[in-house]
Amino acid sequence: MKFWLGASFADTDQFVDLAKAAEKCGFDTLTLSDHLFYADFATPYPYSKSGKPRWTAETHWPDVWVTIGAMSAVTNTLRFAPNVYIAPARDLFTVAKQVSTAAVLSRDRVTFGVGVGWCAEEFAATGQDFHTRGRRLNEMIPALRELWSGRNVTIDGLPELSISPTPAEPIPVLVGGDSEAALRRAARLGDGWIGNRIYTEEQLDTVLGSLRQLLDEYGRTGPFEIIAPLAVLPDADTFRHFAAKGVTGTMAAPWWLATAEEKARYGEGSLELKVATMERFAEEVIAKM
């Protein structure tokens, strides 16, 4: 079982120190989310009953790839992944160059977590068509892999071309989302799947069943990552139970479960609280796996 640190919503100036602490504590991957701006969105947020985002205009959304570049410079083994990057809100070559550069700078420690997104306003702001985002992402994933290979490729009628720098190793592509289209995209095109909500066991069993059927349908027999945020209290035996179901990794933000004493001692939202709870999680869970 791999443990991903869910560091979304952290202040930008905390990420470098969080990366150092995550590596020391034994986390496999640090992940952060992707948004371009805050507004009074007309598009309903799909993961709250009210349809309103769970964050405010003051919440930090640092650029994913700039932040990963900074964190990779102060670590050696920790991996990095967006959860998830809204690739179809950008053009193909912007995505290809950003991800490839981050992979090279990190010495092949980037996982490409990708999804279609929900916010129509962000697509409008970047001049990309919101309604064709699924089809375009299906086309982008194989095109990105070709570009990251460093080979000469022909895309959309352009002259034969290549990009540089490109990574020494293939960049794993993990597809986010639990809609039928997202699961099908993950099974057909991805190296794995990332959940986009916190799952109960019953919810996860439904997703896993669908993924198994789709993987069989597409003749996929090799390794397939399943990264599932779980609605369970952190416990090594519990995580072993989910590993037996085929879950290869889960996501944790240990400060979400900080005790009242820890909050009073370190200050809610502080870097000190985050590091202290990560160290406790490492001792009580990661070390026992």
46-77 pLDDT, tens per residue? Answer: 888 888 888 999 999 999 999 999 999 999 99
Which one is predicted more confidently, 25 or 46?
25
- Evaluate if residue 95 carries a pLDDT over 90: yes
pTM of the complete model beyond 0.85: yes
Structural domains of the chain ordered from first start: 2-288 (3.20.20.30)
Task: Say if residues 90 and 40 touch (Cβ distance below 8 Å).
Answer: no
Sorted by sequence, the CB contacts under 8 Å of residue 31 that are 6+ apart come out as 4, 5, 6, 7, 8, 80, 81, 82, 83, 113, 251
CA distances from 171 to 63, 110, 142, 286 (A): 19, 7, 12, 25
pLDDT at 229: 95
Per-residue pLDDT band for 98 (boundaries 50, 70, 90) equals very high
- Evaluate if residue 115 carries a pLDDT over 90: yes
Separation between Cα atoms, residue 288 and residue 268, nearest integer Å: 27
- Looking at every residue in the chain, the average pLDDT score rounds to 96
CA distances from 197 to 84, 112, 183, 231 (A): 12, 18, 14, 9
Q: What average pLDDT does this structure show over 197-205?
A: 95
**Lowest-pLDDT range of 40-49, 92-101, 125-134, 184-193:** 40-49
Apex 242 CA angle, 241 and 243, nearest 5: 90
pLDDT at 54: 86
Read off the pLDDT of residues 217-276 as tens digits, 9 standing for 90 and up: 999 999 999 999 999 999 999 999 999 999 999 999 999 999 999 999 999 999 999 999
- Evaluate if residue 15 carries a pLDDT over 90: yes
Q: Round the CA-based radius of gyration of the chain to a whole number and report it.
A: 19
pLDDT at 60: 95
- Evaluate if residue 132 carries a pLDDT over 90: yes
pLDDT at 107: 98
